[in-house]
Amino acid sequence: MNKKENIIECKDLNVSFYIQGHGMGSFKEFLLSLGTKKPFVRKQVLFDINLQIKRGECFGILGRNGSGKSTFLRMLSGIIKPDSGSLTVDGSVAPLLALGVGLEQELSGYENIKLCSSLMRIPAERIKNTIDAIREFSELTHEQLDMQVKRYSSGMISRLGFSIAVSYDPEIFIIDEALSVGDLFFREKCYKRINEIIETGATILFVSQDPKELQKICKRGMILDQGRIKHIGDIGTIQDYYK
């Protein structure tokens, strides 16, 4: 069966969620406000998103804080649903949405690796090899992986989260500004691994506020501004437009 040329297709997508409408100091205030005030109001975050991403493409997403980048990726990952429009994602997704997202703080590094492996349906007989590969790539010691994640530094969380994500073979690999923390040598190691994933034919979605970062691996991208696509084009054009 031939796979579709476009691995991701978005048509007229709109996304909103509820935010607190009035300050509430207690549960009692919340109860008393019912019927008189709206404790929550709906805020639209993404507007009329139309986009096609080809299979095997490395696509960059650029935008300021609050522009809707993370919301867009969470929608592609299936974490949130659009209010309207159509979305087609024709492949398995491995999201590295932010540092520490998906890691259970009370569990150790080893326990998080086993949990994530189970969720990704890795066969039990392969989990030991997966653990060894993640430990080697992350460069975390046995003692560090035996600690609760809540005791990790941000750099250690970055190493563990990225190492877990790249230990699988997803068709779509999503990175949301997760390479901004960590030492220079480990970041370069991450970029090398990303290029290896690209060579397998996987599709990469890479979010950043730094156009130079996107240029390292992306050939095409878009700019999001206040929930709307402002421009789509080759990464050089995107960089000039963003400046």
CA 120/CA 150 separation, integer angstroms: 23
Q: For residue 145, what pLDDT band results from cuts at 50, 70 and 90?
A: very high
Does pLDDT of 110 surpass 90?
yes
The pLDDT tens digits for 36-45 are: 556 667 889 9
74-92 burial: b if 16+ Cβ within 10 Å, else e: bbbbeebebeeeebebeee
- 123 DSSP assignment: -
Residues in the chain, total: 243
Does pLDDT of 23 surpass 70?
no
- Give me the pLDDT at residue 6, please: 93
- 3 DSSP assignment: P
- Give me the pLDDT at residue 95, please: 65
- Give me the pLDDT at residue 29, please: 62
- Give me the pLDDT at residue 3, please: 76
- Give me the pLDDT at residue 92, please: 80
Does pLDDT of 19 surpass 60?
yes
CA 230/CA 241 separation, integer angstroms: 9
- Give me the pLDDT at residue 209, please: 80
Q: What is the DSSP string of 135-147?
A: HHHHT--HHHHTS
Instruction: Note whether 81 and 13 are within 8 A (CB).
Output: no
- Domain spans, the chain: 55-242
Instruction: Note whether 138 and 159 are within 8 A (CB).
Output: yes
Q: Nearest 5 degrees, angle CA 175-CA 167-CA 208? A: 10
- 41 DSSP assignment: E
Write down the architecture of domain 55-242 according to CATH. Answer: 3-Layer(aba) Sandwich (3.40)
Mean pLDDT lowest for which of 18-22, 67-71, 137-141?
Answer: 18-22
Q: Which helix (H) or strand (E) holds 211?
A: helix 211-217
- Give me the pLDDT at residue 234, please: 93
Instruction: Note whether 235 and 218 are within 8 A (CB).
Output: yes
Does pLDDT of 101 surpass 70?
no
Q: What are phi and psi of 176, to 5 degrees?
A: -115, 85
Instruction: Note whether 223 and 241 are within 8 A (CB).
Output: yes
The pLDDT tens digits for 188-233 are: 888 888 888 888 889 999 888 888 888 888 999 999 999 999 999 9
The pLDDT tens digits for 87-100 are: 999 988 876 655 55
- Give me the pLDDT at residue 215, please: 86
Percent of the chain with pLDDT over 90: 37
Q: Which helix (H) or strand (E) holds 208?
A: strand 203-208
Instruction: Note whether 158 and 80 are within 8 A (CB).
Output: no
Mean pLDDT for all residues in the chain? 84
